[in-house]
Structure 1
Amino acid sequence: MKEGTPATSSASAPGSSADEERRKAPESYLLLFNVGKKQNFGTLLRSACAFGVSEVVIVGAKKLATFGNQGTAQHAQTRHFDSLEAAKEFLTGRGARICGIEIDDNAKPVSTHPFSGPTAFMLGNEGIGMSPQQRAACDFFVYIPQHSGATASLNVAVAGSIVLHHFATWAAMPEHPRLGEKFVVQPARGSLEKFSDPTQAEREEMNRKRSDRASKRRLEEDVGEENDLGDDVEA
C-alpha cells in the first residue's frame, strides 16, 4: 500500500472474511513512554482497543495504570520493555516505523495519511512534549491540524485517539459490527485461557514476569547473605 493511498472500508459482520481483512491490514502499535497521567493511560488503552491496535508497548512501567479504560484493559495485548531502545528494536523487527505525534516543523498533517506500512505511534509528555530521546527514536512525525486559535494543543489522549483512527481508516481495517446504539463487545480471554493456550505475546509476557520474580528472589537472597555475613563479622 502506497503512502497516502485512500482506503475504502465498510461495516463487516462477524466471521472469517472480517478476520481475514484484519490480518491483511498493516498493523499499528501504541508506544507508551513518558506519559505521566494515569487518566491518559486508560483513555489511550481504550482507544487502542477501539481502533485495532495490535499491541500496546510499554516502556519502563511494570504495571500500567488503567484508570478510564472502561473495561478494555482485559482486551489489550501489552508488552513491556525496560528501555526505549529495546522497544524500538522489537518494533523494527516487526517491520514498524515509529511515528511521533507532535507539533513539529518536520511533521506532516495526519489528514494526509503519510503512512507506508506497520506503524508504532508515540506521544510526548503532557507538559513538556517529547524528550530528545523520544524524538531521536522516531522515523517521522504527524500533527493534527487545528481550525481555531482557542487552544495551543490537544490533550495527549485525545491526540492519540484521533491519529489511531486515521491510521485504521488508511489501513482499511474493517468496521466492527454494531448492535443497537453500541458496538458488539467480544468476550475477553480469561486467565485460564491465557495460561492454557497463550498467544505469542502472552507467552512472552509470562516469561518476562517469571524472569522478574526470579531476579527479585536472587536479589533478596544476595541481600540476606550479606546481612548474615555482617552478623558473623560483628560476632
Structure 2
Amino acid sequence: MSTSEPGPSEWSVPGQVGVGPWEGPLPDGDRWDPELLEQGDRRNVVDAYRYWRREAVAEDLAARAHPFHVAIENLGHDHNIGTVVRTANAFGAGGVHIVGRRRWNRRGAMVTDRYLALHHHPEAAGLVGFAREHGLALVAVDNLPGATRLERTELPRDCVLLFGSEGPGLSPEIRAAADLAVSIAQFGSTRSINAGVAAGIVMHSWVRRHADLSDAW
C-alpha cells in the first residue's frame, strides 16, 4: 500500500501475523486504539476489528451475539474449556458459563475470552437460575438414556448448550434440570468424543438452523 493512501501497512518481516502501523491520516472515533494504530496490530482478530480497542470489539460482538449460551462444567480443571470458549467466540455465542471451579486453563482460548461475556457459577443451581431468569432452554449434550439424536433434533433458538467435564460427563444436577437432552451420532469404538469437539459440532448445528449467514465474516 502506498503511504499516500490511509490505512494499514503490511509487515516487513516475512511470516509476521497482522498488519503494521496505520499509514496516513489517523481515523476518527473512540473505537480506535492509539497504540495499535502507531505500532501495528498483531492480534488474532478478523480484519474488521483491526486497530480497535479490546473493549470496542467486545461491545460490538455483544451487540451482534446470538441468543444461545454455552455452559461447561469445570470439575477437574478441564483442559477443553479453552477450546470451548474459542469456539463460542467464533460462533457468536451470547455468553459462556463455567460451572464449578472458577480457575480454568485459558491457553486454548487464544485470548478470545477477553471478548466474550464470561459467567461463573460455583454450583449448577446458579446456572439453572440464570437460564430460567432469561428464558433460555437448557440443552444437555451427552450420551444420556432417552437423549434424542442431534442430527434429528431442532435445537431451541434461545438456549444454553450444556457440556460436562471430560470423562464423567454432565453432573446429575445438570441432567435433572435439562429441558432437552441430545446426543451426537457416533460410529466408532470410543464411548464419547472430546468435549471441545462436541461443543463445536453442536454450536455449528445451532448456526445452521438459526443464524443469519449474511452476518458472518
**TM-score (normalised: structure 1):** 0.60
In the alignment, which residue of structure 2 is the partner of 1:223? none
In the alignment, which residue of structure 1 is the partner of 2:192? 153
Provide, for residues 77-121 of structure 1, a one-character-per-residue CA deviation record: whole Å limited to 9, x for no partner.
101223211221111111101111111231111122422331101
Task: For residue 22 of structure 1, report the CA deviation from its aligned partner.
Answer: 4.6
Q: Aligned to 1:49, which of 89, 94, 103?
A: 89
Query: How has the CA–CA distance of structure 1 residues 28 and 37 changed in structure 2, closer, same or farther, with 3 Å as cutoff?
Result: same
CA distance in 2, matches of 1:64, 1:152: 25
Looking at secondary structure, tell me which structure has more helix per residue: 1
Larger Rg: 1
Task: Give 5+ residue unaligned stretches, structure 1.
Answer: 1-13, 178-235
Q: Aligned to 2:126, which of 86, 90, 110?
A: 86
In the alignment, which residue of structure 2 is the partner of 1:107? 147
Are the aligned partners of 1:44 and 1:161 in contact in 2 as well (CA < 8 Å)?
A: yes
Q: What percentage of aligned pairs have identical amino acids?
A: 28
Are the aligned partners of 2:154 and 2:209 in contact in 1 as well (CA < 8 Å)?
A: no
Provide, for residues 156-211 of structure 1, a one-character-per-residue CA deviation record: whole Å limited to 9, x for no partner.
1111111011112211243522xxxxxxxxxxxxxxxxxxxxxxxxxxxxxxxxxx
Task: For residue 35 of structure 1, report the CA deviation from its aligned partner.
Answer: 4.9
**TM-score (normalised: structure 2):** 0.65
For residues 180-195 of structure 1, the aligned pairs below 5 Å read none
In the alignment, which residue of structure 1 is the partner of 2:164? 124
Aligned-residue CA RMSD (Å): 2.5
In the alignment, which residue of structure 1 is the partner of 2:174? 134
Provide, for residues 21-53 of structure 1, a one-character-per-residue CA deviation record: whole Å limited to 9, x for no partner.
956x5x111112245344201100111101111
Task: For residue 143 of structure 1, report the CA deviation from its aligned partner.
Answer: 0.8
CA distance in 2, matches of 1:125, 1:165: 20
Task: Give 5+ residue unaligned stretches, structure 2.
Answer: 1-47, 49-60
Task: Tell me: higher relative CO, structure 1 or 2? Use CA pairs within 8 A at least 6 residues apart.
Answer: 1
In the alignment, which residue of structure 1 is the partner of 2:114? 74
Number of equivalenced pairs = 158
Provide, for residues 2-32 of structure 1, a one-character-per-residue CA deviation record: whole Å limited to 9, x for no partner.
xxxxxxxxxxxx7xxxx9x956x5x111112
Q: Which amino acid aligns with 1:80?
A: H
Q: Which amino acid aligns with 2:210?
A: A
